[in-house]
Structure 1
């Protein structure tokens, strides 16, 4: 007869201990009070307003590229801000290695507390929040799902990179932030770059993250099938690479705290 095994802790059974630890990790999100969380939304709002002013200044100065309208740029920037969390997937996989909170945290939806209010207020800022057509909206939603999937694969790759840095998660995050906003097209649309550079960026893996769904939504994309096909291609390639590299890297994982 195999005796039953129980794992006990100060909190009782193992499931209860896990739930208690997750609750403590969740509370870390609100360290410093609600203003700490609201401050992040304030920074996003300031960045959004600054970009809108920049696009208007470029339009008045006649500096926009031919075929790039102010209307498209403003809608592009609006939707990039609204779906920031979906276009820039940053899970706790990297930072949790250093914090010891690898079991996870509760997710605070950026769309609910920031994106939706911004979308409702956008007409007051003279920005059209709607897609250029219903078909574009449907295709953009499909592209957004593929972009989020690709974002998780990229996030897993950066988590594996952090493991090789011996818990140098902040270095991994710094490298990521330095290249992500530029190469994904989330902050600056590729249409504002020289044509050759914009084309190269759109073909890279990060170019399929934000550039893909946002250009479809605003009608700035020329060939929607090519964009979605490229997203599917990079999803297959990066997920295979991410799973393989993570399996090789997890043997090096070292975590403190918890």
Structure 2
């Protein structure tokens, strides 16, 4: 069974490889986004050395790493699940000898692995040649960040799966998917670091899983979060990963008795 799941990762990776030129252009687009943020924050800082615990160098690194990490953990599992529910092909998955939700996770990981090797890593190299990015010098920081990045993918994929499963109960979840994407980008800290949120909003976000996707790993990478605080950030990610399994399992259990086919 494990080898079958590994094959799913390999197949999705090869499928993505067929469209690799699109991702080369994506590196340019992401570099432009990072450049816009770089000049924006340069204007904000002016004569300030530190804003809410971020130096300008840390902020530049945070922006670059957050956007490039997004290339790895981003996927469209919610749309894939929604489409399979709409056309009824999900019914076939119920009789196959594997767990449907694990299949989607493995497919998403295959896509993420492709984005990591052919988008995130080369993109980060290109951006580091253009903007003043400070990479960690401690190998332990790199190792911790790699683990946190994997958890970022898992948590983001769980949120996408939760959104996609709503298609069992709502005929069209297009609006929900768009809202989810905005919430993830905003409250994960990709657009603005959570440390810069108003106090009341930052307090609310701390009780949501979104910060575990981008803000916590990027804070560790930039050196803003170190030592025991970095390990606590990792444990918070693990907690959210475990917690999100519960609503996914409950929704999947209810959905299996709810399926109806809209097409044919």
Give the TM-score of the pair, scaled to structure 2: 0.72
CA deviation map 1:132-186 (0-9, x unaligned): 53222221112112222212221111011232211x1322211211211111112
SS at match of 2:185: helix
The structure-2 alpha-carbon separation of the partners of 1:131 and 1:160, relative to structure 1 and needing over 3 Å to count, comes to same
Unaligned runs of 5+ in 2: 1-10, 94-103
Cα distance between partner residues in 2 of 1:141 and 1:196: 31
Cα distance between partner residues in 2 of 1:134 and 1:190: 26
Query: Which of 125, 134, 140 pairs up with 2:130?
Result: 125
SS at match of 2:54: coil
Query: Which of 177, 182, 201 pairs up with 1:173?
Result: 177
Which residue in the other structure is 2:36 paired with?
Answer: 50
How many aligned positions are there?
A: 231
Cα distance between partner residues in 1 of 2:35 and 2:155: 28
* Bigger Rg, structure 1 or 2: 1
Moved over 6 A (4+): 103-106
Cα distance between partner residues in 2 of 1:132 and 1:187: 26
Which residue in the other structure is 2:194 paired with?
Answer: 190
Give the TM-score of the pair, scaled to structure 1: 0.74
The structure in which a higher percent of residues are helix is 2
* 2:185/2:191 contact within 8 Å kept: yes
Cα distance between partner residues in 2 of 1:136 and 1:199: 27
The structure-2 alpha-carbon separation of the partners of 1:43 and 1:147, relative to structure 1 and needing over 3 Å to count, comes to same
SS at match of 1:251: coil
Cα distance between partner residues in 1 of 2:241 and 2:126: 34
Which residue in the other structure is 1:245 paired with?
Answer: 251
Cα distance between partner residues in 2 of 1:194 and 1:84: 24
Which residue in the other structure is 1:207 paired with?
Answer: 211
Cα distance between partner residues in 1 of 2:134 and 2:33: 18
Which residue in the other structure is 1:146 paired with?
Answer: 151
User: Higher relative contact order at CA 8 Å, sep ≥6: structure 1 or structure 2?
Assistant: 2
Greater CA drift, 208-217 or 54-63: 54-63
Query: Which of 148, 155, 161 pairs up with 1:156?
Result: 161
Which residue in the other structure is 1:94 paired with?
Answer: 82
Which residue in the other structure is 2:142 paired with?
Answer: 137
The structure-2 alpha-carbon separation of the partners of 1:237 and 1:141, relative to structure 1 and needing over 3 Å to count, comes to same
Greater CA drift, 208-217 or 121-130: 121-130
